[in-house]
């Protein structure tokens, strides 16, 4: 059975999980699509490590907004120009919302923080975000 079907069925049967998905665009607690090994990888942010290869290839940056789907912006009734503005910057492994709110940030808050990053980014700010990412991961803030 495809993982999307498992997730959709779970959300249909669990109104609280559905509300969490609508708010955060992720499930912070139990997610039936994640295996035991996947839980360990997520808990320690090790699931992000393969993305380093994308940084090496130049497809991603170390710091930047997370990639969004146009459908997510449609679902939330957001202005498509906001998405276009965010997409002017390469997506990154870490960013402003990851150090400020991590998994506690609702989807709309993440979009706002990513937009803020795009509008105010500097090399110094990127360096500070990288430095603040390490303790955020180690202390598992917001997980």
The pLDDT score that the predictor gives to residue 125 is 94
The pLDDT score that the predictor gives to residue 23 is 83
Residue 126: count of CB within 10 angstroms of its CB: 18
Once rounded to an integer, what is the mean pLDDT over residues 19-34?
85
In terms of domains, do 68 and 17 share one? no
Spell out the residues 6+ positions from residue 113 whose beta carbon is closer than 8 angstroms to its own. Answer: 95, 96, 97, 100, 101, 105
Range of the domain at 65: 45-138
- At 2, is the pLDDT very low, low, confident or very high (cuts 50, 70, 90)? low
In a domain, 143, yes or no: no
The answer on pLDDT for 45 being more than 50 is yes
pLDDT tens digits, one per residue of 127-142: 999 999 888 777 765 4
In a domain, 128, yes or no: yes
In terms of domains, do 58 and 117 share one? yes
The pLDDT score that the predictor gives to residue 142 is 45
In terms of domains, do 15 and 66 share one? no
In terms of domains, do 17 and 69 share one? no
In terms of domains, do 14 and 61 share one? no
Provide the domain count of the chain: 2
In a domain, 16, yes or no: yes
The pLDDT score that the predictor gives to residue 28 is 79
Closest to 20 in 3D by CA, of 106, 143, 83, 94: 106
The percentage of residues in the chain with a pLDDT greater than 90, rounded to a whole number, is 30
- How far apart (Å, rounded) are the C-alpha atoms in residues 86 and 111? 8
pLDDT tens digits, one per residue of 84-122: 999 999 999 899 888 887 667 888 898 999 999 999 999
The pLDDT score that the predictor gives to residue 59 is 93
In terms of domains, do 29 and 59 share one? no
Spell out the residues 6+ positions from residue 66 whose beta carbon is closer than 8 angstroms to its own. Answer: 91, 92, 95, 97, 110, 114
- At 143, is the pLDDT very low, low, confident or very high (cuts 50, 70, 90)? very low
Between 105 and 65, the higher pLDDT residue: 65
């Amino acid at each position: 059975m495809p993982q999307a079907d498992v997730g959709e069925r779970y959300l249909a049967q669990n109104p609280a999980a559905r509300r969490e998905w609508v708010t955060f665009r992720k499930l912070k607690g139990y997610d039936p699509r994640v295996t035991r090994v996947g839980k360990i990888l997520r808990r320690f942010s090790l699931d992000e490590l393969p993305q380093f290869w994308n940084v090496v290839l130049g497809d991603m940056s170390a710091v930047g907004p997370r990639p969004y789907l146009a459908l997510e912006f449609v679902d939330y009734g957001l202005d498509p120009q906001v998405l276009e503005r965010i997409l002017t910057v390469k997506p990154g492994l870490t960013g402003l919302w990851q150090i400020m709110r991590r998994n506690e940030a609702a989807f709309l808050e993440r979009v706002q923080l990513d937009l803020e990053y795009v509008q105010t980014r500097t090399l110094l700010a990127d360096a500070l975000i990288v430095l603040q990412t390490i303790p955020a991961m180690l202390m598992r803030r917001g997980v």
